[in-house]
Structure 1
């Protein structure tokens, strides 16, 4: 297993989580 590609994949997953959290926070604030 390539460690570098695994790290990149995890970082992408984390970035997506953070992005979704920001979207949810924005949606809650607009209500």
Structure 2
């Protein structure tokens, strides 16, 4: 695995995390 693969994997995890947090946030505030 090279550095670029790891960077993409990390970006994927961050996007997934942000999506989950975003859904929780919008669910709580009914935006």
Is the pair's TM-score, using the shorter chain for normalization, greater than 0.5?
A: yes
Runs of 4+, deviation exceeding 4 Å:
none
Which residue among 8, 25, 28 is the counterpart of 1:12?
A: 8
CA distance in 1, matches of 2:26, 2:10: 25
1:7 is displaced (CA, Å) by 0.3
TM-score (norm 1): 0.77
Structure 2's unaligned 5+ residue stretches are none
Tell me the matched-pair count: 27
Cα RMSD, aligned residues only: 1.2
